[in-house]
Amino acid sequence: MKIKSAAAQKILNSNSNYTIQVKVETESGFFRGSSPAGESTSQYEVAQFGSGIDAEIKNFNDFLQTLKNKEFTRIDDIYLLERTLPEEFIGGPSLSLSYALVYALSNSLKIEPYSLFGKKSLVLPISKMLGGGVHTSNLGMDIQEILVTTISGDLRESINGTLSVYKELKELLKNSTYSFLGGVDPEGGFVTSLDNYESLKLVRKAVEKVIQKTSMDIRLGMDMAASMFFKDGKYVYNRPIYGKKEVSREEQIDLVKKLEKEFDLYYIEDPVDETLIEDYGEILSDSHALIVGDDVTATKTDRLEAAKGKMNATLVKPNQVGSLYKVKAFSDLADKFGLAKVVSHRSEETCVSIISDLSVGLAAKYLKVGINRGERVEKINRLLELN
């Protein structure tokens, strides 16, 4: 396929912040890509717009002119372009362009986008039930996300199970005395006045009710995003957890182990600060759960090398590195280390559902994505389309 024109403009993301959209024109039409953003970001991820969004879009538009008449025949051509892009564009601009090119290329090759990355694999969703941390402006619980997933079953069963827990939870919340006015956070998790412990208990109750009715294997998980409340060497909770508001590194490790046992947690993401790789290892050594790196690994191969043996799963978030060839290299390294991969949405998304294709093509175990809100459901629906 040959590029006739390419241009960038500012659009809104799902959290009412501006992001970039790149539109590529080929002989068969127009193809769009846009990049998400995170409210809770890692210090290791690339900046989305290093010199500010307006300046970057302006400069990127100048650069996009140079792509006129450029030919792309395989995914490697996109990877090559990414490798030669000026560093200043790595982030929102580069990723949006790559997404647009993936759609244009797969269209010209008459294949589904996922097959540019690998063979078709079964990917199940892991979805947020309750939101907290910065996703609820630090007004709710400290744990950023309480999640549920199924550990087996086909995609449709898995989605039904997750959805049933979400609806059961809503009923429990409606009928309780907790302050709940029906609202959801940016990722579709309900927002309540419950503290950390009460929140886990309530989601567990919803899970148990669904298991009773369906005997599905539904499991609880959490993303603590612990870096967000790690201050001066201590974890500082807004709400007491096991009776404490400030805990040391050692106490946090014990606390996480206790939560895993009490709630039979199957998935534990970022339970400690992103700089403390050793502490992930401490938790892993005594755990039956998936110990998942996100802020700590930041989709960077050097971070994953450093974390080898300290976790058994990692998130894959393309905008943490800003290019698909780096995502592919990260995914390959995760495979080499035998890690479970979880391709993930960001809190501020766009309607582009390419992460669903990526999860399927890269043979991820899960797609972490909300079960509510249009821009998330779109990604679940894309999984349905592919399976």
Q: How far is the CB of 128 from Mg ion (least distance, A)?
A: 11
Distance CA 353, CA 380 (A): 9
Give the residue carrying structure tokens 């989305």: 48
| Identity of the residue, 23 or 373, whose beta carbon is nearer to ligand 2PG in the bound complex | 373
Q: Assign residue 47 a region: left if phi > 0, alpha if psi is -120 to 50, beta otherwise?
A: beta
Nearest alpha-carbon partner for 222 in 176, 186, 262, 173: 262
Residue 187 or 375: the one with the smaller Cβ distance to ligand 2PG is 187
Question: How many residues at the interface with ligand 2PG, by CB under 6 A?
Answer: 14
Rounded CA Rg of the chain: 21
DSSP structure class, residue 47: P
The listed partner (ligand 2PG, Mg ion, none) that binds 356, CB under 5 to 8 Å by sort, is: none
For ligand 2PG, which residue has the nearest CB?
38
Interface with Mg ion, residue 274, by CB under 5 A: no
Q: Using the rule CB under 5 A, which residue among 82, 185, 223, 279 binds Mg ion?
A: 223
Q: Report yes or no: 10 and 19 within 8 Å, Cβ to Cβ.
A: yes
Among positions 192, 199, 344, 353, the unique one binding ligand 2PG when judged by CB under 6 A:
344
Max Cα-Cα span within the chain: 64
What tokens does 94 get?
Answer: 């580069």
Q: Which of 46-54, 113-121, 176-184, 218-226 is the region at the interface with Mg ion (rule: CB under 5 A)?
A: 218-226
Q: How far is the CB of 153 from Mg ion (least distance, A)?
A: 24
Of 34-42, 77-85, 326-334, 355-363, which segment contacts ligand 2PG by CB under 6 A? 34-42
Question: 360 Cβ partners below 8 Å, 6+ apart?
Answer: 114, 120, 121, 123, 383, 386, 387
Q: List the one residue from 347, 350, 356, 372 that touches ligand 2PG (CB under 6 A).
A: 347
Among 1, 19, 39, 173, the residue binding ligand 2PG under the rule CB under 6 A is: 39
7/97 Cα distance (integer angstroms)? 9
3-state SS assignment for residue 290:
strand
Establish if 187 lies at the interface with ligand 2PG (CB under 6 A): yes
Decide if 77 contacts 9 (C-beta within 8 A). no
The stretch among 61-69, 164-172, 191-199, 338-346 that binds ligand 2PG (CB under 6 A) is 338-346
Q: Which is nearer to Mg ion, 274 or 375 (CB)?
A: 274
**At its nearest, how many Å lie between ligand 2PG and the CB of residue 40?**
4
> Cβ-count burial of 43 within 10 angstroms (0-12 exposed, 13-18 middle, 19+ buried)?
exposed
Q: How many residues bind Mg ion (CB under 5 A)?
A: 2
Rounded to whole angstroms, how far apart are CA atoms 363 and 21? 27
Tell me: does residue 294 bind ligand 2PG (CB under 6 A): yes
Whole-angstrom distance, CA of residue 315 vs CA of residue 343: 6
Q: Which stretch binds Mg ion (CB under 5 A): 9-17, 48-56, 215-223, 350-358?
A: 215-223
The CA distance from 51 to 69, in Å, is: 28
Q: How far apart are CA 112 and CA 37, in angstroms?
A: 25
What residues contact residue 15 under an 8 Å CB cut-off, 6+ apart? 37, 39, 186, 347, 348
Cβ distance to Mg ion smaller for residue 133 or 161? 133
Q: Give me the least distance between CB of 135 and Mg ion, in Å please.
A: 10
Among residues 13, 21, 35, 40, the one that binds ligand 2PG under rule CB under 6 A: 40
CB of 328 to Mg ion, least distance (A): 21
Q: Which does 45 bind (CB under 5 to 8 A by kind): Mg ion, ligand 2PG, none?
A: none
Q: Is 294 in the site for Mg ion (CB under 5 A)?
A: yes
Q: In what order do the strands lie in the sheet with 18-26?
A: 3-12, 18-26, 29-34
Neighbouring-strand partners of residue 12: 18
Query: Exactly one of 225, 268, 276, 277 binds ligand 2PG (CB under 6 A); which one?
Result: 225
Stretch that binds ligand 2PG, among 19-27, 35-43, 153-161, 168-176 (CB under 6 A): 35-43
223 binds ligand 2PG (CB under 6 A): yes
- Chain positions contacting Mg ion, by CB under 5 A: 223, 294
- Chain positions contacting ligand 2PG, by CB under 6 A: 38-41, 144-145, 187, 223, 225, 294, 344-347
